[in-house]
């Protein structure tokens, strides 16, 4: 089955800095790569996604990149704000989604 | 739209007791699934369903049962609760075609003593 590795497990940045979270996957059949943000006490919420026929996608301060050859994809958050503090999960989807173990992002004011 | 509704939000069980975690969605999603979330272990798939009458096992199915009699509902049953089942449980749903991202419920925090 699919295996997704996510790094780093924790990330602390100063407000205004950029944050990058990286994931690798194993199953070449995976064709959809969503990212979720989970705030304390809530369920994960989809924030951005990318399909296998696209290399990069941007939505305001967040962007995702995908390298199918190397089987890795990344989440980039620019101009971070304290409200970006949360746990972020990547996932690789081949019929159903397999999740990474999550990254706890802390943005210090 | 309510999205994905999970009940209860919190539950304490004694070892050996049984209970059902409820999940309902109003988006006409074909796909529904149950995950458990433990510290440092991300989201692990318990069971999933691609439509009414169809269920399948995920990564950690032991000790849990599911059924899907309607498109809207996907209950998770704990047959004989064990302390190892202490966790936060999330239900998620999506369309089958797309593919698309999941809509998650707000979770059920279960403690087994």
Determine the pLDDT at residue B97. 76
* Contact at CB, B31 and A102, closer than 8 angstroms: no
Q: How confident is the model at residue A81 (pLDDT cuts 50, 70, 90)?
A: very high
- Residue A43 with chain B: CB contacts under 8 Å: 4, 90, 92, 104-107
Of all residues in chain A, what percent carry a pLDDT higher than 90? Answer: 93
Mean pLDDT of A39-47: 95
Q: How confident is the model at residue A53 (pLDDT cuts 50, 70, 90)?
A: confident
Rounded to a whole number, what is the distance in Å from the CA of B92 to chain A's nearest CA? 9
Chain B positions with Cβ closer than 8 Å to A: 4, 31, 33, 35, 40-43, 45, 48, 58-59, 90, 92, 98-107
**Cα angle at B60 between A104 and A98, to 5 degrees?**
50
Determine the pLDDT at residue A54. 85
* Contact at CB, A96 and B45, closer than 8 angstroms: yes
**B47-to-A56, A85, B32, B54, B66 alpha-carbon distances in Å:** 32, 30, 9, 11, 7
Q: How confident is the model at residue B2 (pLDDT cuts 50, 70, 90)?
A: confident
Determine the pLDDT at residue B3. 95
Q: How confident is the model at residue B1 (pLDDT cuts 50, 70, 90)?
A: low
Average confidence score pLDDT of chain A: 96
Cα-Cα-Cα-Cα torsion A54, A107, B101, A101, nearest 10 degrees, comes to: 100
């Amino acid at each position: 089955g699919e295996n997704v590795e996510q790094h780093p497990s924790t990330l602390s940045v100063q407000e205004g800095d950029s944050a990058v979270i990286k994931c690798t996957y194993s199953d070449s059949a995976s064709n959809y790569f969503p990212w979720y943000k989970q705030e304390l006490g809530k369920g994960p919420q989809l924030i951005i996604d990318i399909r296998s026929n696209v290399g990069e996608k941007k939505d305001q301060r967040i962007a995702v990149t995908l390298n199918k050859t190397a089987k890795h994809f990344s989440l980039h958050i620019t101009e971070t704000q304290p409200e970006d503090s949360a746990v972020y999960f990547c996932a690789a989807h081949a019929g159903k989604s397999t999740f990474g173990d999550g990254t706890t992002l802390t943005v210090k004011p | 739209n309510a999205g994905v509704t999970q009940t209860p939000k919190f539950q304490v069980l004694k070892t050996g007791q049984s209970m059902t975690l409820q999940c309902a969605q109003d988006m006409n999603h074909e796909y529904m699934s149950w995950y458990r979330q433990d510290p440092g272990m991300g989201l692990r798939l318990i069971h999933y369903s691609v439509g009414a009458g169809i269920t399948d096992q995920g990564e950690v199915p032991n000790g849990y049962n599911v059924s899907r009699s309607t498109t809207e509902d996907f209950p998770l049953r704990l047959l004989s609760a064990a302390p190892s089942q202490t966790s936060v449980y999330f239900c998620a749903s999506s369309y089958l075609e797309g593919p698309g991202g999941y809509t998650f419920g707000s979770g059920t925090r279960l403690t087994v003593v």
